[in-house]
């Protein structure tokens, strides 16, 4: 059967590196028999979902027998008002992951090239590889996007450049001055995708949003999600902003009813939950300060972050640290999957989670 699959399946799939998600809590319970577990691996909101979204979803449960609005009319109207754009500039998807996949299915042919930083969000390489594209991974410079090197990587076959801002896993950003110079030099026939999954957490005044370039550069696409600060990861909903002609092209290959009804209802309500947004930013900012201070006292080097996670050097084998944390009921992400064998990425949690993580880490690093 293996030979049959090798012959019949598209050859590109055998080059894929499967996505490694944060270990689920229930899986750890089953495997280790531990009940008291905290997950600080997937950058989820420690406050949970938007309360307004939860209420809206509950009130809509009796209508799940009806197909959802395939055009996401009301959510698009709300998002357009919220963002100051037109509805024909919006794409809604089953998480931003689906939209990233639809994007390459629309624009990438075999032998086209995509450019991204390394390390960064793995979905860019994953989706491009499915389509048979060549991937140019440009190493980070001091944990930040090396924009001059990315410009130098552009060739005749280049179709898409991905900019994860803030970058996952490092939490670093590109400034307005850096981006202004970069955008002025990118060829107009190369799509520039700003992935802003964590932009709501940014505190730096130097940060620039991709939407600021939409009117001047029709090759700009902005990807965002309701999974992070809004706490709706389980509903799977994200959106893209782009030129109407790009939107129209992607819609041609989009499955009908790709965004479920409860996701649409929850996302619309979440946009109005200003209290939850403020509280989420506050707990993240305070948690970041606490974790920085503790890591500094332990003598551990970390990458200053503008997101809701911190990437830092444990000074030890990250797999060992991961296993020891896991055995004590703390789930994090290892850095070896990003090319940093002594680093881990930890989600900023609530005060209790942060304190437990630090106490547990201190115990482990003494081993």
For the chain, domains (ranges, CATH) are: 2-48+274-365 (3.90.1150.10), 63-270 (3.40.640.10)
State residue 35's pLDDT score: 79
- Rounded distance, CA 98 to CA 222, Å? 14
State residue 33's pLDDT score: 76
- Geometric angle at alpha carbon 11, from 7 and 14, rounded to 5°: 105
List, for the chain, all residue ranges whose pLDDT scores fall below the cut of 70. 2, 5-7, 13, 16, 18-21, 367
State residue 21's pLDDT score: 67
Q: What does the block give as tokens for 173?
A: 């950003």
Q: What does the block give as tokens for 92?
A: 């809604």
CB atoms within 10 A of CB 30: 10
- Rounded distance, CA 28 to CA 37, Å? 8
- Rounded distance, CA 269 to CA 203, Å? 24
C-alpha neighbours within 13 Å on the C-beta side of residue 303: 28
State residue 194's pLDDT score: 98
Closest alpha carbon to 350 in 304, 294, 285, 300:
285
Q: Which residues, in sequence order, are CB contacts of 279 under 8 Å at separation 6+? A: 47
**Radius of gyration, CA atoms only, the chain:** 21
Q: Which residues, in sequence order, are CB contacts of 289 under 8 Å at separation 6+? A: none
Q: Tell me which residue has tokens 């931003």.
A: 96
């Amino acid at each position: 059967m293996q030979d049959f699959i090798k012959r019949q399946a598209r050859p590109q799939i055998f080059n894929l590196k499967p996505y490694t998600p944060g270990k689920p809590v229930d899986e750890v319970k089953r495997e280790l028999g531990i009940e008291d577990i905290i997950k600080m691996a997937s950058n989820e909101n420690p406050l949970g979902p938007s309360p307004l979204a939860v209420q809206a979803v509950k009130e809509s449960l009796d209508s799940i027998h009806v197909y959802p609005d395939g055009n996401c009319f009301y959510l698009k109207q709300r998002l357009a008002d919220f963002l100051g754009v037109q509805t024909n500039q919006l794409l809604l998807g089953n998480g931003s992951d689906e939209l990233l996949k639809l994007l390459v299915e629309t624009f990438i042919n075999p032998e086209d090239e995509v450019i991204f930083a390394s390390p960064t969000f793995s979905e860019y390489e994953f989706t491009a590889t499915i389509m048979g594209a060549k991937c140019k991974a440009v190493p980070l410079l001091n944990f930040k996007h090396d924009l001059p090197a990315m410009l130098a990587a552009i060739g005749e076959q280049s179709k898409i450049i991905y900019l994860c801002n803030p970058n996952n896993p490092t939490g670093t950003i590109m400034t307005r001055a850096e981006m202004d110079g970069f955008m002025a030099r990118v060829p107009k026939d190369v799509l520039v995708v700003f992935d802003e999954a964590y932009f709501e957490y940014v505190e730096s005044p130097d940060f620039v949003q991709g939407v600021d370039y939409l009117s001047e550069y029709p090759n700009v696409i902005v990807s965002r999600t309701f999974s992070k600060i809004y706490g709706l990861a389980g509903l799977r909903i994200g959106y893209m902003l782009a030129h109407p002609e790009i939107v129209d092209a992607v819609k041609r290959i989009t499955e009908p009813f790709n965004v479920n009804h409860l996701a649409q209802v929850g996302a619309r309500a979440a946009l109005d939950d200003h209290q939850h947004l403020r509280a989420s930013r506050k707990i993240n900012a305070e948690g970041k300060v606490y974790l920085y201070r503790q890591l500094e006292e332990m003598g551990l080097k970390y990458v200053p972050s503008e997101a809701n996670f911190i990437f830092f050097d444990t000074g030890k084998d990250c797999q060992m640290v991961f296993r020891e944390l896991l055995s004590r009921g703390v789930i994090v992400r290892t850095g070896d999957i990003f090319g940093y064998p002594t680093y881990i990425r930890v989600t900023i949690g609530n005060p209790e989670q942060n304190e437990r993580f630090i106490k547990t880490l201190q115990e482990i690093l003494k081993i």
